[in-house]
A and B are shown apart, each in its own frame.
Chain A
Amino acid sequence: MRTQKKIGDTMKVRFLIALITCSLGTLAQSTNIRAVVSQSEVGLYETFNYAVIMTAGGSDYSPPNNLTDNFTIVGGPHSQSNFSMMNGTTTAIQKVVYELRAKRLGEFTISPASLERGDEIYQSNSVEIRVVDNPQPQYDDNDPRAIAARSAEIRIIPTKLRVYEGESFGIAYKVYSRYRLQTMDEISEPEYDSFLVERIEEDIQARDVSDEQGARYEYNFRTYSMTATQAGDYEFDPYVVNLPMAYRRNRFSMGADFVDNIERAYHPDIEVLPLPREGRPDEFSGGVGDLEFEVVLSRSEVPVDESATIEIIIRGRGNLRSIELPELRLPDQLEVYAPKDDLDIQATPYGPKGKISRKYTLVPRYPGTYEIPPLEFVYFDPIKEQYIVSQSDIQEIVSEGDAPVVSTPRTTTNSTRNEGVVDQRDVEILSDDIRWIHTSDVTESARGKFYTSTWFIGGMGGSALFTAWLLLAGTVKRWNKARYNAIRVEGKRALNHLRKSDEWREVHLAISEFLEHGMGVHKAEQIDPILQSKLKTEGVTPEDAQEIYSLFATCEAGQYGQADRGFEETKSSVIRWIQKQLS
């Protein structure tokens, strides 16, 4: 005992030294963040410290995101800030300390904590922790801890180990001990994430269940009313609790000392089966359990303008809170007020039990006999393992009274009907028959396919043509205008060149430029007879096309040999030809 305490003290001293070392380390730097633990190897359910040391000062700190995955925070975070001034520089150091307890065995890494400062984020180191099983203490038989360990045990007893989805059951936690419990300190308890859980308050009075070995007490200290919500095989963490035992150190000691006794109870696995799909009616309400269905009409003879109630009731043991009540369909001539729901459910050691109901208040406004159709309630019976369809009887309301005129609007309704206005009601269908024969269109031939019909072709075609016209109208005109402008510009330029020219080459070039840029006839085509046909497509008369081709050939001949006519004559002819094209 003394040795263990010494080891614990040594670990604490080491942790403090680490804290101080890290603090001093951080002093030397502008921004720093480090994480340390009091011990890297801990026993299961043993408490240890995890600390984050950082230079703070308007900083935003975030703890490790997986801190609680494998550990329970039993204390903290405790924050401590230090300010120091060294050589005129102020440094702020902040420590955040957590007391942690491991949830399970294994080797775990606590991810880095982070510190946001301005636009930058600083991260601490991650920390490795090894969680080992608590070694069985080697106690002396006379040691009170050994006696306590032998004298108590905990049992977790579910009423069922195999249930259907939606089925209710109970779980009891019982302590058997040979000493009277003064207090209990829970260390770890199982989590029931996929179950609806209701804790039943119970008296922790001990029940004497003495056996041949002497006094023995049973504490039924905790009971849960459970409802399975999701199918699956469920395993649970063990329940760990400290049951301190009182003892007297020696016969002379005054009062009692206490010795810790940590007990661990293993939770049995529970199998939740899905509800069978086969044979499940569409009207299944979601109810699972031992249930009863009833529809109660308060009275069957109701004078006009007086009220009666009709109540849908489901009672029994099961998942009452999850049940969808069947919808009541009433004749339109009955005035119905908003229904009132009522739940009377108690948590019992075998699951929830009680009654749910929906009550409608209805008022017949007209004399007559109103039939309320039967209601159907479908639930699953886990004992019989089948769906049960329960149907109510047909109910009748007989109403007698005066004419169907609403006399005065009632204050309990939102009616705004005026006096003397007849209430409208749905047309009553007496019988349904086929429609009468057709006499008008019998002689007409059957309609053809829509895509061969005039209206479809006309509509689609007309729209397309109109759209095309809207898109293209004016384009040809604009194109002609652009072309005419090009001829004018190039023509003027060619005439200027020609007037100044005194060589065959210059005349040849002027014609060539005009034809290419003004009329879109390329040079390669100009020395070919194709020139004439090209010019004709550009709107030039055949005679003019013939003439320019001849003039072009004369210029060629003039440049490289003997022309068939004089230079000035040719030049004048070319000028006339271009002027003619411009006009």
Chain B
Amino acid sequence: MSWIATTFLLISSVAQQGDSLALSSSDLLESAEVAFQEEEYQLAYDQWEEYANTQTLPSADLYYNMGNAAWRMEEWGEAIWRWNQALKLNPDMEDAQHNLELAESKKVDRIKEEEVSPLTYVLELIYLSLSPNSWAVIAVLFALCIALMMALRRYGNGKLRSTAPVLAIISLVLCLLSVTLAFAHQYHLDNNLYAVVLNANVHVKSAPMPGAADAFIIHEGSEMKVMQTVGEWYEIRLNDGKVGWVKSEQVGVY
């Protein structure tokens, strides 16, 4: 009997701990929302950040809210970084897209796009046009379509029966294509690291050393691709092809 009592006590204590944690997290979010509504943006940002630190996989909406708080504090770089983080987790988030479009006006640097080959341009245009989830949904729909066509072939009659295999093959091709595009977009998200300048201006170095020569200056909000990491330094590449090194504390990476 004693082991039953011990187990019961153990389970109850774990459950109570879980409840208290959930309650405090919930309070934190509620408090952050209230703070935001009362225009205490720094407090709201800190509480959302605190909540995010307790989560293994914070939601895209959490990052979006942090971006909004940063924007209100006129931390343009921080806001752009957080909204981009949200978009990376949920590429379909329309609000983050809208806010980022608005944030374009706050960027100081005009960076011209480097010319890419027409093939790369078209391929990227296609697979980045929809999120991985959207491509996956399309793929599942085509897979269901294949099953439907096979059912029509087996149980249908007349013209429907004869055209069903052709439609099934077309659906199969489109299904495979959609899956490929979904994986291509997901690969793009998983294997490309980007950074946003958080400081008002950053002197980009020509080498990962504090004493290295300044290569060029970039300003808050400018976005760039992270090529590699060496200690506290990131090698970055601007869209126009300029390459240099920045310290990790100067940029937000997503």
Contact surface of A with B, Cβ cutoff 8 Å:
432-451, 453, 455-456, 459-460, 462-464, 466-467, 470-471, 473
From A433, A434, A442, A464, give the contact of B59 (CB < 8 A): A442
Distance in Å: Cβ of A317 to nearest Cβ of chain B: 36
A517 CB to nearest chain B CB (Å):
33
Of the candidates A434, A440, A441, the one whose C-beta lies within 8 Å of that of B98 is A434
CB nearest neighbor in B for A470: B150
- Chain A residues whose CB sits within 8 angstroms of the CB of B26 once the complex forms: 443
The segment from B119-127, B136-144, B226-234 found at the interface with A is: B136-144
Kindly state whether residue B99 has any CB partner on chain A within 8 Å.
Answer: yes
Expressed in whole angstroms, the Cα–Cα distance for A438 and B146 within the complex equals: 39
A443-B59, A444-B59, A459-B144 known; 16 other A-B pairs, CB under 8 Å? A434-B68, A434-B71, A436-B68, A437-B69, A440-B61, A442-B29, A445-B57, A446-B60, A447-B133, A448-B57, A450-B136, A450-B182, A451-B136, A451-B183, A455-B140, A459-B143
The verdict on A437 contacting B36 (CB below 8 Å), with A432-B102, A450-B133, A450-B182 known, is: yes
- The residues in B between 1 and 60 inclusive whose CB is less than 8 angstroms from any CB of A are 25-26, 29, 33, 36, 48, 51, 55-60
Chain B 127-161 near chain A by CB (<8 Å), digits 1 or 0 = 00000110110011001101100110110000000
- What's the minimum C-beta distance from A444 to chain B, rounded to whole angstroms? 5
Tell me which residues across on chain B come within 8 A of A441, comparing CB atoms: 59, 61
Residue of B25, B60, B143 with most partner-chain A CB within 10 A: B143
A450 pairs with B98, CB closer than 8 A: no
| Closest Cβ–Cβ distance, residue B25 to chain A (whole Å) | 7
Contact of A470 with B151 in the complex, beta carbons under 8 Å: yes
The yes or no answer to B214 lying at the interface (CB within 8 A) is: no
B57 touches A446 (CB 8 A): yes
Whether A460 and B95, one on each chain, are in contact in the complex, defined by CB atoms closer than 8 angstroms, is no
Residues of B within 8 A of A470 (CB): 147, 150-151, 153-154
B133–A445 CB distance below 8 A: no
Given known A-B contacts A434-B102, A451-B186, A463-B140, A471 and B60 have beta carbons under 8 A apart:
no
Chain A contacts of B36 at CB under 8 A? 437
Complex CA–CA separation, A462 to B140 (angstroms) = 10
Q: Closest chain A residue to B143 by CB distance?
A: A463
Cβ contact within 8 Å between A437 and B65: yes
Is B62 engaged at the interface, CB distance under 8 Å to the other chain? yes
Q: Does B194 contact A (CB under 8 A)?
A: no
The verdict on A450 contacting B29 (CB below 8 Å), with A435-B99, A460-B139, A466-B147 known, is no
Check B64 for interface membership: any CB of A closer than 8 A: yes
Tell me if B's interface is mostly helix, strand, loop or mixed: helix
Q: Chain A: which residue is nearest B96 at the CB level?
A: A435
Chain B residues with CB below 8 A from A442, complex form: 29, 48, 51, 59, 61-62, 65
Report the Cα distance A473→B153, complex, angstroms: 13
- Which residue of A has the minimal Cβ distance to B56? A445
- Assess the B65–A471 pair: CB atoms within 8 A: no
- Which residues on B are within 8 Å of A, measured CB to CB? 25-26, 29, 33, 36, 48, 51, 55-62, 64-65, 68-69, 71, 89-90, 95, 98-99, 102, 132-133, 135-136, 139-140, 143-144, 146-147, 150-151, 153-154, 182-183, 186
**A463 and B60 contacting across the interface, CB-CB below 8 Å:** no
Given known contacts A450-B186, A451-B136, A437 and B143 CB-to-CB distance under 8 angstroms: no
Contact B146 A437 (CB under 8 A): no
Measured CA separation A86–B212 after assembly (Å): 107
CB atoms of A435 and B98 under 8 A apart = yes
Q: Determine the distance from Cα of A442 to Cα of B57 in the docked complex, in whole angstroms.
A: 11
A338 to B186, CA, bound (A): 49
* A463 CB contact (under 8 Å) in B51, B65, B132, B146: B146
Q: Report whether B89 and A447 are in contact in the complex, using a CB–CB cutoff of 8 Å.
A: yes
The answer on a CB contact under 8 Å between B95 and A435 is yes
Known: A447-B89, A466-B147. A460 touches B64 (CB 8 A): no
Chain A's closest residue to B152 (CB) is: A470
Most buried by A among B58, B71, B147: B147
A437, A438, A462, A466: most-surrounded residue (chain B CB, <10 A):
A437
CB nearest neighbor in A for B154: A470
Enumerate chain A residues within 8 angstroms of B133, measured Cβ to Cβ: 447, 450
What are the residues of chain B within 8 A of A434 when measuring CB–CB? Answer: 68, 71, 98-99, 102
Instruction: Tell me which residues across on chain B come within 8 A of A447, comparing CB atoms.
Output: 60, 89-90, 133
Q: Is the CB of A456 within 8 A of B62?
A: no
- Chain A proximity of B113: nearest CB distance (Å): 14
Chain A residues lying within 8 Å of B132, measured Cβ to Cβ, are 449-450
CA distance A453 to B136 in the complex (A): 10
Is the beta-carbon distance between A460 and B65 smaller than 8 angstroms? no
Smallest CB-CB A-B distances: 4 pairs: A459-B140, A463-B143, A438-B61, A435-B95
Chain B residues within an 8 Å CB radius of A446:
57-60, 89-90
The distance in angstroms between the C-alpha atoms of A453 and B139, with both chains bound, is: 14
Q: Tell me the nearest residue of chain B to A449, going by C-beta.
A: B186
How far is B2's CA from A95's CA once the two chains are assembled, in angstroms? 128
Q: What's the least CB distance linking B183 to chain A, in Å?
A: 7
17 A-B contacts (beta carbon < 8 Å): A434-B99, A435-B95, A435-B99, A436-B68, A437-B64, A437-B65, A439-B33, A442-B51, A442-B59, A445-B57, A446-B57, A446-B60, A446-B90, A463-B143, A464-B143, A467-B150, A470-B151
- From A436, A442, A473, residue with most partner B Cβ within 10 Å: A442
CA distance A445 to B144 in the complex (A): 29
Q: Complex formed: what's the CA distance from A460 to B143 in Å?
A: 6
A116 to B135, CA, bound (A): 61
**Contact, CB under 8 Å: A463 / B144:** yes
A525 to chain B, nearest CB (A): 38
Expressed in whole angstroms, the Cα–Cα distance for A471 and B154 within the complex equals 8
The complex places the Cα of A438 from the Cα of B64 at a distance, in Å, of: 8
With a CB–CB cut-off of 8 A, which chain B residues contact A453? 136
A466: chain B residues within 8 A (beta carbon): 147, 150-151
User: Smallest CB–CB gap between B107 and chain A, Å?
Assistant: 15
Which partner residue on chain A sits nearest B94 by CB separation? A435
Instruction: Report B-chain residues with C-beta under 8 Å of the C-beta of A443.
Output: 25-26, 29, 59
CA distance A443 to B57 in the complex (A): 10
Residues of B within 8 A of A450 (CB): 132-133, 135-136, 182, 186
Query: Nearest CB to that of A464 among chain B residues?
Result: B143
Residue of A nearest to B172 (CB): A467
Distance A95 CA – B71 CA, assembled complex (angstroms): 92
Q: How far is the CA of A447 from the CA of B84 in the complex (A)?
A: 16
- The residue in chain A whose Cβ has the minimal distance to the Cβ of B135 is A450
Q: A471 to chain B: which residues have CB within 8 Å?
A: 150
Contacts of B135 in A (CB 8 A): 450
**Contact (Cβ within 8 A) B56 A438:** no
Say whether, besides A443-B26, A456-B140, A467-B150, A437 and B68 are in contact (CB < 8 Å): yes
Bound: A438/B26 CA distance, A: 14
Contacts of B71 in A (CB 8 A): 434
Q: Which residues of A contact B29 (CB under 8 A)?
A: 442-443
Are B151 and A438 neighbours in the complex by a CB distance under 8 Å?
Answer: no
Closest residue of chain A to B183 (Cβ to Cβ) is A451
Which A-chain residue is minimally distant from B134 (CB atoms)? A450
Please give, as numbers and ranges, the residues of chain A lying within 8 Å of B102 by CB-CB distance. Answer: 432-434
